[in-house]
């Protein structure tokens, strides 16, 4: 038995050397592929929290205009972590996000570099960019309150979600979704922690069902008379109207812009920043400036039904038809500071349970 064992170990060692050799060969070939790939000139690499197919039309146009090729990776969870681990050898040049909190996270972890130019500063209102120019908003989206047409036209504020007259009538997606966390953060900025917690608790008591599904799913639930009121981002309204099957849901609701008589509706942004160690920083700068150009902003607005961050570019015809609205003027950077507190309050109210 002992013999067999020793023999086996020798044999194992041979196998291991063999495997090691193979791994080395594989690695060498990988590195070859990789280095040939990074040597290609005039490229820009984008890490995107936003689905690739939504930004591809923009990048195609950019490539057409400048000849610079755009490579994209789309991911959500852990993107910042990947960037941090890659450190100074990271291939990333530009980061695209769909929510203010990711921009702040990237900034706080020192993963962005400041870049400013007159083009950027002129195009983007100051409340939608970082004070130190490390990130910029590209589009804005409102956190709207949708209401069933059967209620008639209503005038509604976020505060009203806690009003007991809506008991059993409200639907929402998870309280911990980034869009809802940002809304709660804006409530903290406006009312302080204690009042926001009370608001959350009463809001939860008004829910027709446990928070679940997507923003569109809530409008569907209104259509099915499960509830009358829901929270949802503005662009989903446009997307539902454009979808054959979902149009009936959207036709049954009004899109309301909350808090018009006081601080204004809560607005979130999709945005961009340059990676700290961007290897193609010249191309990256060109891409950033392209993304705030009138052409690109127009395209952005048309394809995704969002509001262009430029005040001199009109939203799409459909979006414009929902009317003008007043947005909360507090800088997003200030609102985003309350993010962690917001998450804690949502846990404390057991909002999702």
Partner 1 sequence: MVLASFASSNDLFSHLWQTVLPDYIANTLILGVSVVFLSLIFGTLSAAFIVHTNVKGKKLLRWLLLLPLAMPAYLVAYLYTDLFDYAGPIQRTLRAWFDWQSPNDYWFFDIRTLPGASLVISLVLFPYVYMLARTAFEQQDQNLLRAGRLLGLSANQSFFQVALPLARPAIAIAASLVLMETLADFATVNYFAVNTLTTAIYDTWLGYGDLATANALASILMLIILFVVVAEQRARAGQSHQSNRPNHHIEIIKLSFIQQLFISGFCWLLVLAGFLLPFALLVMMAFEYSDMAQLMKLVEPSINSIEVSFYAATIATCLALLFGLYRRLSIDKWRMLPSSLSGFGYAVPGTVLAMALLATFGPLDHFINDLAESFQLQTPGLILSGTIFAIVFAFVVRFAAIANGTISSGIEQIPRSIDLAPATLGAGLAGMLKKVHLPLLKPSILVAWLLVFVESMKELPAVLLLRPFNFETLSIQIYQLISDEMLEQGALSAILIVLLGLVPIIWLNRSKELT
Distance CA 152, CA 163 (A): 18
Query: Site size for partner 1, by CB under 8 A?
Result: 70
β-strand 43-48 against 69-74: which pairing, if any? parallel
20 lies in the site for partner 1, by CB under 8 A: no
38 lies in the site for partner 1, by CB under 8 A: yes
β-strand 229-233 against 170-171: which pairing, if any? parallel
User: How close are the terminal C-alpha atoms of the chain, in Å?
Assistant: 59
Determine which helix (DSSP H) or strand (DSSP E) holds 308, and give its type and residue range.
strand 307-308
Kindly indicate which of the ranges 78-86, 111-119, 260-268, 294-302 contains the residues binding partner 1, using the contact rule CB under 8 A: 78-86
343 lies in the site for partner 1, by CB under 8 A: yes
Q: CA 24 from chain center: how many Å?
A: 40
34 lies in the site for partner 1, by CB under 8 A: yes
The tally of CA atoms less than 13 A away on the side-chain side of residue 347 is 6
Among 78, 126, 326, 329, binds partner 1 (CB under 8 A): 78
Instruction: Return the closest-CA partner of residue 99 out of 325, 287, 272.
Output: 272
192 lies in the site for partner 1, by CB under 8 A: no
Distance CA 81, CA 97 (A): 14
87 lies in the site for partner 1, by CB under 8 A: yes
Kindly indicate which of the ranges 128-136, 142-150, 224-232, 295-303 contains the residues binding partner 1, using the contact rule CB under 8 A: 224-232
Closer to partner 1 by CB, 259 or 283: give it. 283
40 lies in the site for partner 1, by CB under 8 A: no
Among 13, 15, 117, 294, binds partner 1 (CB under 8 A): 15
Render 83-121 in DSSP notation, one character per residue: HHHHGGG----EEEESSHHHHHHHHHTT-EE----HHHH
CB 271 within 8 A of CB 136: yes
Give Cβ neighbours of residue 336 (< 8 Å, ≥ 6 apart): 100, 101, 103, 104, 182, 185
Which parts of 138-157 interact with partner 1 (CB under 8 A)? none
42 lies in the site for partner 1, by CB under 8 A: no
17 lies in the site for partner 1, by CB under 8 A: no
The CB-of-275 to partner 1 minimum distance in angstroms stands at 14
Look up residue 103 and give its two tokens: 């921009």
Which parts of 155-174 interact with partner 1 (CB under 8 A)? 174
Closer to partner 1 by CB, 249 or 325: give it. 249
Give the residues lining the site for partner 1 (CB under 8 A): 1-2, 4-5, 7-9, 11-12, 15, 26-27, 30-31, 33-35, 37-38, 45, 51-54, 71-79, 81-82, 85-91, 105, 174, 176, 181, 209-217, 220-221, 223-226, 236, 340, 343-344, 347-348, 350, 352-353
């Amino acid at each position: 038995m002992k013999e067999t064992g020793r023999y086996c170990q020798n044999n194992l060692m041979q196998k291991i050397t063999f495997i090691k050799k193979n791994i080395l060969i594989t690695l060498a070939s990988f590195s070859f592929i990789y280095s040939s790939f990074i040597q290609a000139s005039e490229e820009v690499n984008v890490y995107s929290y936003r689905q690739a197919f939504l930004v591809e039309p923009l990048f195609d146009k950019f490539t057409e205009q400048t000849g610079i090729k755009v490579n994209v990776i789309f991911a959500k969870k852990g993107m910042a972590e990947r960037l941090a681990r890659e450190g100074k050898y990271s291939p990333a040049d530009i980061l695209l996000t769909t929510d203010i909190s990711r921009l702040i996270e990237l900034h706080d972890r020192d993963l962005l570099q400041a870049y400013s130019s007159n083009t950027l500063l002129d195009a983007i209102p100051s409340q939608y960019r970082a004070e130190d120019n490390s990130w910029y908003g590209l589009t804005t989206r409102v956190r709207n309150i949708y209401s069933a047409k059967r209620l008639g036209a209503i005038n509604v504020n976020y505060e009203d979600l806690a009003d007991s007259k809506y008991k059993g009538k409200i639907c929402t997606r998870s309280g911990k979704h980034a869009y809802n966390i940002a809304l709660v953060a804006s409530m903290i900025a406006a009312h302080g922690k204690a009042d926001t917690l009370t608001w959350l608790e009463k809001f939860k008591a008004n829910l027709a069902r446990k928070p679940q599904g997507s923003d569109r799913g809530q409008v569907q639930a209104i259509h099915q008379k499960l509830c009358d009121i829901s929270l949802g981002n503005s662009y989903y309204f446009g997307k539902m109207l454009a979808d054959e099957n979902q149009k009936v849901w959207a036709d049954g609701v009004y899109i309301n812009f909350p808090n018009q008589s006081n601080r204004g509706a809560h607005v979130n942004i999709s945005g961009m920043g340059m990676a700290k160690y961007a290897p193609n920083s010249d191309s990256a700068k060109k891409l950033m400036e392209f993304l705030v150009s009138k052409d690109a902003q127009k395209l952005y607005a048309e394809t995704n039904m969002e509001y262009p961050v430029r005040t001199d570019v009109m939203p799409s015809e459909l979006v414009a038809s929902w009317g003008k609205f007043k947005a909360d003027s507090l800088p997003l950077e200030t609102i985003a500071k309350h993010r962690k507190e917001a998450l804690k309050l949502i846990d404390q109210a057991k909002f999702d349970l």
